[in-house]
Structures are given as structure tokens and as C-alpha cells.
Amino acid sequence: MIKRIVLTVVGLVIVVGALVGTKAMQIQAMMAQGASFTPPPETVTATPVKEENWETTLSATGSLAAVQGVTVSAEVPGKVVKISFESGSSVKAGDLLVQLDVSTEEAQLRAVEATAELAKLNLQRVRELREKGTNSPSDLDAADAGYKETVAQAEQIRAVIAKKTIRAPFDGRLGIRLVNLGQI
């Protein structure tokens, strides 16, 4: 039994010795190879020297905030039929930016203006007749009220057209366009 233990210990010592010896030889071989190693030659390129001007620029990351800004929109809904600007362009106060569809309002305005013209002619006739005493004061008042009413209707339609015409509220530079033709 002791003989077996001694043989096992001797066998282990031999195996460990063999492993250590092998590793030592590998390390010596690598060191010898490293000592005799010569690096490959470097590739060098050359170019003639010439004078150049360099721009003095500095790249930076940041963000901008407008001193005065506004999101422009229409007071009344409608379909966009004309866009008169490009993102980033400069505008003056009052420049047309976006036009909504006003074809219905323009037709109504022509009709009301024709009615106003007729009411004006009627008012002039009623005044002439009143000066001659052939009609009553109430006829003159009714004609005057009819004329004023049609003029007010025309002004109301012009106001709706103005609300569907989006203009720049002040001088400046435009931001990103968030509207497209045909959009409501």
C-alpha cells in the first residue's frame, strides 16, 4: 500500500516535471525568436512642400433659440392651395406665407358687392324722390339701412378672406415648414 502511494507520488512528480520542462522550453524558444525578430520596413510617402491657406473654422455642437418666434396658423379652417415660402428663407412683415382656399368667399363677395351697388343706386333714387316729396321718410330709412347692411356683409366676407390669407407677422427668418398643399 505504501509502495503504491510512493509510486503515485513519483509518477505525479514526473508528469509535473515533464509539463514544467515543456513550458520552459516553449518560453525559451519564444524569447529567442523575439530577440532575433526584425520588424518589416515602414512604408513612407513623400510629397512636395507647398504653401496653403487654411480656413479658421471651429466646429461645435449646439442649439439656437430665436429671440422672437411665433407659430403661425389660420384663424379659420380651410384647404391649403398655395405655399409662398421655403423653410429658412427671410421674410418681411406682411409677406404672404400660405393661402387657404377662398374661392367660395370670393364668389360670395362678388354677389354681395353687386347687391351693394344695387342698394346704393336704390338709395340715390329714394333720396331724389324724398327731395321731391313723393315718398315717405321710412322709405329713405329702409333704403339707407339696406345699403349699409350689404356693405357690412361685403366687409364680413373680406374679413374671412383676410383670415384665410396667412402673412408674416414681423420681419425674420422662417423655420421648418409644417404644412403641405391640400392639407386642411
Domain with residue 154: its CATH number is 1.10.287.470
Domain count, the chain: 2
Task: Say whether pLDDT at 66 is over 80.
Answer: no
Residue at 134 is within a domain? yes
Angle at 48 between CA 47 and CA 49, to 5 degrees: 115
> Please, are residues 174 and 91 in contact by the beta-carbon 8 Å criterion?
yes
pLDDT category at 80 given cuts 50, 70, 90 is confident
Residue at 178 is within a domain? no
Mean pLDDT within 65-71: 74
Beta carbons within 10 angstroms of residue 86's beta carbon: 8
Structural domain including 22 reads 1-29
E strand residue ranges, the chain: 80-83, 90-91, 96-100, 165-167, 172-173
* Per-residue pLDDT, 133: 82
* Per-residue pLDDT, 25: 93
**Same domain? 87 vs 149:** yes
**Same domain? 22 vs 99:** no
CA 42 to chain centre: 52
Residue at 135 is within a domain? yes
pLDDT category at 138 given cuts 50, 70, 90 is confident
Task: Say whether pLDDT at 160 is over 80.
Answer: yes
Residue 66 in grid coordinates: 430665436
Residue at 60 is within a domain? no
Residue at 165 is within a domain? yes
Interval 22-44: pLDDT, tens: 999 999 988 888 888 888 888 88
pLDDT category at 94 given cuts 50, 70, 90 is confident
The residue among 74 and 20 whose pLDDT is bigger is 20
